[in-house]
Amino acid sequence: MNTVKWSMFNLHFWSMALDLSIGFLLVPVCLFPALAGYPLGFLNWLSVPMSVQTYAMTVVTAMVGTSSVVIFENRFFYLFSTSATFWSQLRKPFLTFNYILTFVFFLPAYLWLPDQHDARKRVIEMIPNMVQHVRESDFFVIALDSFIPLALPFAFMGGLTFFQSLTFIGLTTSKMEKLTKSRQMSEQTMKMQRTFLRVVCLQVTTPVVIIVIPFIYITFAVITSYYNQALNNIFFLFVGMYGMVSTIVMLSCHRPYRNTCYSIFCMRTPGTKLNTVDAHTFARRFINETKSFVSFSRA
């Protein structure tokens, strides 16, 4: 548990940061099929530029995927790598590359933002039935062409995250089977590690499944130029549930991590019980004091 708990906390942190960004810091209102929108959150109240808020949102979203890769890499490294292996020398550049890529993959779109005055006119022409108060708002346009600035970077990051995660899962599983057959790893150890991998996979995929349908709708809206502001808002309600669902799955399915969190936040070892004599004494005193107070009030 000690070798993986900080990787799990890293994923937990960025999942909750995604929820916090959507539900409090940004509260984005998007205008799909146009790649435009405006924020209603705390950062907007602080007058943070909308371009900076958009960039921060993409980084936090990508961090969730990168953190998932880090967990699978962590298991592979600590189970099967030593200081003499090739991967032990390559992993630091690998992790550094992934984190740097997370921060810069959206940079081209950020640097090539369109002129906002002309872009707003184009968006209003694209969506003639836009809600009046949205039409009159100072909304922000990320791009007029959805493919190059957004689809390509996000498809690249998503594909890379999926490929790396699948690679480490496959390598870890195959290594465990080989070591078990050669009797270098016990059946119990392999079973425990397989259970952990299943739990992490469940934690990563369950929230993704929840938001797949909204993403299908967004793809449909962009391709067909369909505009429905209510469905656009529901989309972000689903995305904002990612961190909550991820946390529930993590704490429900992974007992060692749950116990560690319990010991940190409750300041005592999980499984310990309060002194029952003290608890009963306190309960009796509370009831007696309540009765005395009621009797005094009636008198």
- 168-209 pLDDT tens trace: 988 888 877 777 776 666 777 777 777 777 777 777 777 677
Domain enclosing residue 287, as ranges? 5-298
Residue 299 pLDDT greater than 70, yes or no:
no
- Smallest Cα–Cα separation from 111: which of 140, 138, 143? 143
Contact 113, 51 (CB under 8 A): yes
Per-residue pLDDT tens over the stretch 37-76: 999 999 999 999 999 999 999 999 999 999 989 988 988 8
Q: What pLDDT, on a 0 to 100 scale, did the predictor assign at position 246? A: 79
Structure tokens at 160: 């890379």
Strand, helix or coil for residue 219: helix
pLDDT at 129 over 80: yes
Own/partner long-range contacts of 220-227 (Cβ < 8 Å, ≥24 apart): 221/32, 221/33, 222/32, 222/33, 222/146, 223/33, 224/33, 225/33, 225/126, 226/33, 227/31, 227/32, 227/33, 227/127, 227/129, 227/130
What confidence tier does 273 reach under pLDDT thresholds 50, 70, 90? very low
Domain CATH code at residue 186: 1.20.1070
DSSP-assigned beta bridge partners for residue 143: 35
Number of domains in the chain: 1
Cα separation, 189 vs 155, whole angstroms:
37
Q: Which span out of 4-8, 90-94, 196-200 was modeled with the highest average pLDDT?
A: 90-94
